[in-house]
Structure 1
Amino acid sequence: MVTTTTTDFITSELAWLERCIAQRKLALKSGLPHLGFEATPCEGEGLYVDFIREHHLSAEERLVMILALAPHVRPDIMDQLLDDQGKLAQFRLIQSASKAQVLPTAETALQLIAGTDLSRRLRVCRYFEAEHFFFRKGVLDIVKSKSTGSQFDGELRLNADYVDCFLFNAIRKPKYSPEFPAHLLQTKMEWEDLILNDTTAEKISEMRDAINLHETLAEEWGLGKHIKAGYRAIFYGPSGTGKSLTATLLGKALGRDVYRVDLSAVISKYIGETEENIARLLNKSEDKGYILFFDEGDALFGSRAKDAQNSNDQHHNQLIAYLLQAIENYNGIIILATNLKANLDEAFARRFQSSIYFGVPKPAQGLALWKMLWPEQLKADASLNFKMLVTTKPFTAAMIVQIIQTLALQAIRKNNFSVGLGDIKRVSDELMKK
């Protein structure tokens, strides 16, 4: 629900926008190039106020922001930018697809702020460049139409996530969409339920500490100029060894949402579309604190062709080059999971802080898994010795879960809850054939 402080501040910003519009129209009528815009004090609480303070927005940048936000809360303000005949041209406005609403363009912002003052216009143009954080972090976008015109004639659109963030004073979890092709991973398990081989567990603890202590090292230890933002890790090893669960529990322990990227929606056969899909995904995730989990990541991050003679190999190599740069510049957490590390392009390994192997549980971990997962309703008969079982045949955690689930269903159907070593062998053999 909208808080009072957020509502009051946005209301004051909208009133300021109206005054600026009136001043600019007066300047145009009087032939003056510019009338100064004095911003209202940035007071109160809420994510919109925090955003302005955090990024040290100038009065002009604030005006761009509230202009982009206005259609969502006070669409009537846009009508004030129409000329005396009710036409759009004066401030280069456009109409929505339904023709029911007038929308601002980047050119609207330039006209409103700079008017005919060329030096001011050139300075304000920088707010619409790719390097400005408005676009670098996906806050704003200029949505071009098919009609011809300057680069500033497209709709000035505020990212939907920021609209929700500013108006409802809360960051909503993203839904699966073409712009964000990823699903939220959740589990009822806790960190203490994770059973890994000692070496793997130690590597995961080091990764957890590195993420938690990043700001301490950057600010208090003076390493900010030398260490990269975000964190990148490779999880590799056989299926069912806990890579997905570890990523999910790591997010839970760090207080971060983990999203499994749908590679089928990211990878495209058309040239350039895969890069565009990745760019949208990373832009939407930028500064949100998400952990992006690329399961079977070798489908996207596979090795480059050494002798790229045909166009497909050349395009694949170009994609890998783009991904290397995009991953390196991303300030969040990325985890690539693969069964075979050799399938990944070796250049990725050099750019990732951690490369962690998930192997089949050793006897000690296997025994702990069987004991933790074994339901009390199943009764082990004299032939079933778990210590002997884990030394003769290692099972992954996923396989153990499958075996126990199958045994439990059979026990319920037959009303016989006694389980022996032969039962486990029979079920495991059946599952291995599938």
Structure 2
Amino acid sequence: MQEHLTIISPNNINEKENYFFNFLSEVIKYRLDKEFGEGGAEQPIFEYRKGETYIDKFIIENNLSQEDTVILLLALIPHISPNFINDIIVSFLPNGGEFPEFGGVKGKNHRGILPTVETALYILYGNSLKDRLQGISYVLNDSFVINNGIVDIERIPLGEPEMSGKLLIDEEYKSKILLGETVKPELSPSFPASLIDTSLSWNDLVLKSSTLQEVKEIEAWLQCNEVLLNQWNMKGKIKPGYRVLFWGPPGTGKTLTAGLLGKYTKRDVYRVDLSMVVSKYIGETEKNLSKLFDKAENKDWILFFDEADAIFGKRTNVRDAHDKYANQEVSYLLQRIEGHAGLVILASNFKNNIDTAFTRRFNSIIEFEAPSYDERIKLWEKSLPTGIEVEESVSIPELAKKYGITGANIINIVQYACLKTIHASHDKIQKEFILEGIKREYGKEGKTIRI
């Protein structure tokens, strides 16, 4: 039975049942009282206390430490109560003034304090250099929320202290923690990928048995990799992640296969829009890729690079600065893909178009061949709508034998023929419409055919 939990909002942020936010408030007041007050406040004791909000549930289920709880709440608080920190500070410093020890920065639109790592260090450890050094080590090496990508540290300009970076809550986790639901990222300049979804099943995928067997090996990795790494103690002995190349003519099922792998292993599949990644400006391509891989880290996503030749293509002889930086892009990609812990699928029409530096490191290279006669029969039969008859003169075996087309072509033809049939008020799919559709598909590829 689904739990009925409270959504955190500014209206209930300070109610007693929100123990963890009350704890954050008390620990800030304790620190400021030692600094500016009489020092008589008692140090708050951190407890795991069942609450009625999703944030309570998240902290308890993940057994977060006091340090991680403070870091997480500080990253969340500007999104739900902009005046939370300001109100506490003003109660101790009513006349304002400089307070560099507390850290925090102002945003362009946000009028409150945006907490930084320095803010967390001050709240937890005060001005003790020894304790702060231990705190910095914890943040950089041991923090659960940072190591798992729940909270990130803003990259700051060269020359400024790393701990002055803002505490940034991951958008997907923010939605899950505050609202109890995960909002999927959408295609945008900061996230150049879109979610692949499919209502089809493995039975709808028509491939050679040898190809399907290789695809099932990827599914086995997705299902068993955690056991291999952790229970069988193979972490450190094998490289993280799994890298696959799908190659073959367009329309042979590469994208559908990626979608089905995600569907049946309960993982999101994101198709990377390379037009938003590749840039003519030096360093921009690497920056765009860095954002993508940083976002995907710890998410258990499948990354699908369609028409990957555009970015994973062969390196060239260096003739000018452009060639030099293009080769650097390939080298950077190689580095990021090798270090990525998830499944990365590259799709290309031609295997030889991919740089050999990548092909040597693929765990699997799978060819998606153009469908044979028998496979084309299956594709025609699976593509036609159930419960709707075709004209008696239509012979599926004859169509499969005469026209060497792919599954994507067949889907387009069936869609065209069905729409024409409906528009013409026929009860059966007409042969003439099927043949018109075939002619259109050949025309798209610049081919002419006698029907």
Q: More displaced, 267-276 or 95-104?
A: 95-104
1:196 aligns with 2:204: no
TM-score (norm 1): 0.86
For 1:120, which of 131, 142, 148 is the aligned residue? 131
Instruction: Give the structure 1 partner of residue 20 of structure 2.
Output: 13
Instruction: Give the structure 2 partner of residue 70 of structure 1.
Output: 77
Distance, in Å, in 1 between the alignment partners of 2:158 and 2:408 is: 55
Given the superposition, is the C-alpha separation of residues 418 and 161 from structure 1 closer, same or farther in structure 2, using an over 3 Å criterion? Answer: closer
Alignment of 1:167-206 (within 5 A): 167-206=178-217
1:27 aligns with 2:34: yes
Given the superposition, is the C-alpha separation of residues 13 and 391 from structure 1 closer, same or farther in structure 2, using an over 3 Å criterion? Answer: same
For 1:104, which of 115, 127, 142 is the aligned residue? 115
Deviations 1:212-255 (A, max 9, x none): 12223334444344344433211110011111111112211112
Give the CA deviation at 1:289: 2.4
Give the CA deviation at 1:209: 1.6
Alignment of 1:323-338 (within 5 A): 323-338=333-348
Given the superposition, is the C-alpha separation of residues 177 and 133 from structure 1 closer, same or farther in structure 2, using an over 3 Å criterion? Answer: farther
Given the superposition, is the C-alpha separation of residues 87 and 176 from structure 1 closer, same or farther in structure 2, using an over 3 Å criterion? Answer: farther
Deviations 1:16-45 (A, max 9, x none): 11221122123224899xx96642226569
CA contact (8 A) 2:117 2:165 kept: yes
CA contact (8 A) 1:286 1:331 kept: yes
Alignment of 1:391-410 (within 5 A): 391-410=401-420
Given the superposition, is the C-alpha separation of residues 180 and 423 from structure 1 closer, same or farther in structure 2, using an over 3 Å criterion? Answer: closer
Distance, in Å, in 2 between the alignment partners of 1:51 and 1:230 is: 27
1:378 aligns with 2:379: no
Partner SS, residue 172 of structure 2: helix
TM-score (norm 2): 0.83
CA contact (8 A) 2:50 2:57 kept: no
Q: More displaced, 198-207 or 102-111?
A: 102-111
Instruction: Give the structure 2 partner of residue 302 of structure 1.
Output: 313
Instruction: Give the structure 1 partner of residue 11 of structure 2.
Output: none
Given the superposition, is the C-alpha separation of residues 169 and 159 from structure 1 closer, same or farther in structure 2, using an over 3 Å criterion? Answer: same
CA contact (8 A) 1:234 1:356 kept: yes
Give the CA deviation at 1:325: 1.7
The alignment of Structure 1 onto Structure 2 pairs a total of residues equal to: 430
Alignment of 1:27-426 (within 5 A): 27-29=34-36, 38-41=45-48, 43=50, 48=55, 52=59, 57-79=64-86, 80-82=88-90, 83-87=93-97, 89-90=99-100, 91-98=102-109, 100-129=111-140, 134-135=145-146, 137-143=148-154, 150-305=161-316, 307-375=317-385, 376-381=388-393, 385-411=395-421, 417-419=429-431, 426=439
Give the CA deviation at 1:148: 8.5
What is the identity, as a one-letter code, of the residue corresponding to 2:340?
Y
Give the CA deviation at 1:412: 5.2
Partner SS, residue 234 of structure 1: strand
Deviations 1:186-222 (A, max 9, x none): 2222221111112111111121122112223334444
Deviations 1:309-355 (A, max 9, x none): 42222212222222112112222222111101111111222322221
Give ranges in structure 2 of 5+ residues lacking alignment.
9-14
Distance, in Å, in 2 between the alignment partners of 1:148 and 1:234 is: 41
Distance, in Å, in 2 between the alignment partners of 1:124 and 1:30 is: 24
Give the CA deviation at 1:117: 0.8
Given the superposition, is the C-alpha separation of residues 172 and 395 from structure 1 closer, same or farther in structure 2, using an over 3 Å criterion? Answer: same
Partner SS, residue 379 of structure 1: coil
Partner SS, residue 162 of structure 2: coil
Given the superposition, is the C-alpha separation of residues 152 and 426 from structure 1 closer, same or farther in structure 2, using an over 3 Å criterion? Answer: closer
CA contact (8 A) 1:3 1:168 kept: no
In angstroms, what is the RMSD of aligned CA positions? 3.4
Distance, in Å, in 1 between the alignment partners of 2:288 and 2:44 is: 39
Given the superposition, is the C-alpha separation of residues 130 and 361 from structure 1 closer, same or farther in structure 2, using an over 3 Å criterion? Answer: farther
Give the CA deviation at 1:108: 1.8
Partner SS, residue 433 of structure 1: coil
Distance, in Å, in 2 between the alignment partners of 1:89 and 1:18 is: 18
Q: More displaced, 186-195 or 92-101?
A: 92-101
What is the identity, as a one-letter code, of the residue corresponding to 2:27?
C
CA contact (8 A) 2:18 2:52 kept: no
Give ranges in structure 1 of 5+ residues lacking alignment.
none
Distance, in Å, in 2 between the alignment partners of 1:45 and 1:365 is: 56
Distance, in Å, in 2 between the alignment partners of 1:112 and 1:418 is: 75
